Amino acid sequence: MNHYLPMLYETLFGFVALFALTKVLGKTSISQITPFDFISALILGELVGNALFDKKAGVLDIGFVIILWGGLLLVLEIITQKYKGTRGFLEGKPAIVIHNGQLIRDVMKKNRLDVNQLQHLLRQKEVFTVEEVQFAILETDGTVSVLRKSDYQTLTRKDMNLAPQEVLLSTTLINDGEILYDNLEESKLTEEWLLDEIVKQGYTRVQDIFYAEYTKGKKLLILPYVNKKEK
């Protein structure tokens, strides 16, 4: 039983240290992960995991591994931020795989990208035929950015000479049967107003509502709990 105690505080320490590391490296390192970042994450997890189950390794060993590897990643981030010329080598460069509607075979081959993989990436952008694409760029994180041909682009209000409208952000007021008072206060609304709106739409209890969303100038969106049998 005594051997569980060291595992407990070593695991807690590793958890806190890894959490701190992600904060230091920043959100962009997570959302814009490159192949090197992915491999680094796997190696870091392996190092910490091995340290946790190694009887000879303690908190100091785990901390050393995390600080050392995290420091190397942080130095790499600083280098790429300070010296622009290193970004292409260390982070990779975006590659144009479709240029003026034509597939660039050499670029696809260089990036180990076949047609089936490209079609999959295009479908993730709601593009189901290469015919619609004017330009497609393979980003360093493995995603594809697409510029459609003019005939397939979505019309905007500016294209139709319509006056611009205010862009409104919706706010969740009820989530899983509970009122989110912080959001209610931020929207400058009261609980009495919310309950009144709920009654107007035929509901008597907040607990019966799975989700409620408020957008300025619009009717309160209410989604009640629905069981599979009711569908």
Instruction: Please compute the mean of the pLDDT values over residues 68-85 and round it to a whole number.
Output: 74
Give dist(CA 211, CA 216) in Å, integer. 17
Longest dimension (CA), the chain: 74
Q: For residue 35, what pLDDT is reported?
A: 58
Handedness of CA 7, 12, 15, 20 (dihedral sign): negative
Mean pLDDT of the chain: 79
Answer for the pair 68, 20: CB distance below 8 angstroms, yes or no: no
The pLDDT tens digits for 15-57 are: 676 667 666 655 444 445 555 666 666 676 676 666 666 666 6
Least confident window among 31-45, 96-110, 138-152: 31-45
Size of the chain in residues: 231
Query: pTM higher than 0.85, yes or no?
Result: no
Check residue 155 and give left, alpha or beta (phi > 0: left; psi -120 to 50: alpha). beta
| One-letter-per-residue 3-state SS of 160-194 | CCCCCCCCCCCEEEEECCEECHHHHHHCCCCHHHH
What percent of the chain clears pLDDT 90, i.e. is strictly above it?
A: 33
Q: What is the DSSP string of the chain?
A: -TTHHHHHHHHHHHHHHHHHHHHHH-HHHHHT--HHHHHHHHHHHHHHHHHHH-TT--HHHHHHHHHHHHHHHHHHHHHHHH-GGGHHHHH---EEEEETTEE-HHHHHHTT--HHHHHHHHHTTT---GGGEEEEEE-TTS-EEEEE-GGGSPP-TTTTTPPP------EEEEETTEE-HHHHHHTT--HHHHHHHHHHTT---GGGEEEEEE-TTSPPEEEE---GGG-
| CATH class of the domain whose range is 171-230 | alpha beta
Assigned token pair, 29? 């390192």
Judge if 95-152 and 171-230 fold alike in CATH terms. yes
Least confident window among 81-90, 102-111, 171-180, 197-206: 81-90
Q: For residue 29, what pLDDT is reported?
A: 47
What is the domain partition of the chain in residue ranges?
4-88, 95-152, 171-230
According to CATH, the superfamily of the domain at 95-152 is bsu07140 like domains (3.30.240.20)
The pLDDT tens digits for 183-205 are: 999 999 999 999 999 999 999 99
Which range has the top average pLDDT, 31-45, 61-75, 117-131, 152-166? Answer: 117-131
